[in-house]
């Protein structure tokens, strides 16, 4: 069990650029979640995958955001045309079942210049 | 709507003193309840969880929490705080109704500082 891995740890980009983050969940965890955490706040749910199917999306996930989990293993989160308000920590979590705890990665911190 | 309230934004305790962090939730049924800890620039580490059964749950690092249904609370406690416990603590509710996906709803966190 190597834990949830996220890459990159930090991303600095200019407003208007596209960015993509990657999450590798714990192997055999079929449930994968993305959260966003802004300064001074708790994480907020963005989207959920069960295997390769994206089953739920928060209203926080605007049209500029897209997430995939093509083979039911790793997942990517892409933000197009980044805005200042996208600056946040993006956290990925995985779990084997709904009644099992979610294990979090160390997150990707996005800074928009 | 489901929500989690952590009334204390920042708490400072002396090393060796006892600790209690408060958490209240609003949820239609008995939720899954969690406490996570986050060090600066890091992800969240699970301290303990409540799903059902005994309302007093033990976690890692000497932490415990008690689920009180009548008060809709799940307060975190530790009898003797260590300097390494300084971090931010998040209480979370997990949805457990039939069609839910188990998304977590977090409080805003309580930052713990420890005085030597």
Of B46 and B40, more confident: B46
Mutation site, B5, B33, B104, B106, interface A, largest A CB count within 10 A: B104
Is any Cβ of chain B less than 8 angstroms from the Cβ of A53?
no
Q: Do B43 and A4 touch (CB under 8 A)?
A: yes
Output Rg (C-alpha) for chain A, integer angstroms: 13
CB contact under 8 A, B109 and A106: no
Residues above pLDDT 90, as percent of chain B: 77
What's the confidence (pLDDT) of residue B113? 97
Q: Residue range A36-48: average pLDDT?
A: 94
The pLDDT value given to residue B99 = 61
Phi–psi pair at A58, nearest 5 degrees: -75, 155
Between chain A and chain B, how many beta carbons pairs sit less than 8 Å apart? 66
**Residues whose CB is less than 8 angstroms from the CB of residue B95 and which lie 6 or more positions away in sequence, other chains included:** B2, B31, B32, B101, B102, B103, B105
What pLDDT, on the 0 to 100 scale, is given for residue A1?
A: 56
pLDDT at B61 over 70: yes
Chain B partners of A40 at a C-beta cutoff of 8 Å? Answer: 108-109
> CB-based contact (8 Å) between A13 and chain B?
no
Asked if residue B44 has pLDDT above 60, the reply is yes
Helix and strand tally (H, E) in chain B? 0, 12
Is pLDDT above 90 for B45? yes
Backbone angle region of B98, left / alpha / beta, with phi > 0 → left and psi within -120 to 50 → alpha: alpha
- CA-nearest of B38, B37, B30 to B55 is B30
Give me the torsion for CA of B89, B90, B91, B93, rounded to 10°: -160
B-interface mutation test, from A2, A101, A105, most B Cβ less than 10 A away: A101
Cβ(A35)–Cβ(A47) below 8 Å: no
Across A70-101, b (16+ Cβ under 10 Å) vs e yields eeebbbebebeebeeebbbbbbbbbbeebebb
pLDDT at B29: 76
Whether residue B20 has pLDDT greater than 70 = yes
- Structural tokens at position B74: 């799940």
């Amino acid at each position: 069990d190597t834990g949830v891995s996220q890459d990159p740890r930090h991303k600095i980009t200019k407003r208007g650029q596209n960015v993509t983050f990657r999450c590798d969940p714990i192997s055999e965890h079929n449930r994968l979640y993305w959260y966003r955490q802004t300064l001074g706040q708790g994480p907020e749910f963005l989207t959920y995958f069960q295997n390769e199917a994206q089953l739920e999306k928060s209203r926080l996930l605007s049209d500029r955001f897209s997430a995939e989990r093509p083979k039911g293993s790793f997942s990517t989160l892409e933000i197009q045309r980044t805005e200042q308000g996208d600056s946040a920590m993006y956290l990925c979590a995985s779990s084997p079942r709904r009644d099992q705890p979610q294990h979090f990665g160390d997150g990707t911190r996005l800074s928009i210049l | 709507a489901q929500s989690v309230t952590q009334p204390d934004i920042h708490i400072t305790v002396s090393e060796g003193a006892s600790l209690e962090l408060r958490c209240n939730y609003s949820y239609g049924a008995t939720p899954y309840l969690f406490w996570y800890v986050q060090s600066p620039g890091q992800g969240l580490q699970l301290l303990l969880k409540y799903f059902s059964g005994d309302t007093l749950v033990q976690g890692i690092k000497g932490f415990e929490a008690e689920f009180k249904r009548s008060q809709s609370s799940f307060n975190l406690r530790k009898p003797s705080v260590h300097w390494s416990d300084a971090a931010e603590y998040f209480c979370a509710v997990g949805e457990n109704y039939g069609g839910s996906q188990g998304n977590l709803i977090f409080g805003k966190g309580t930052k713990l500082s420890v005085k030597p």
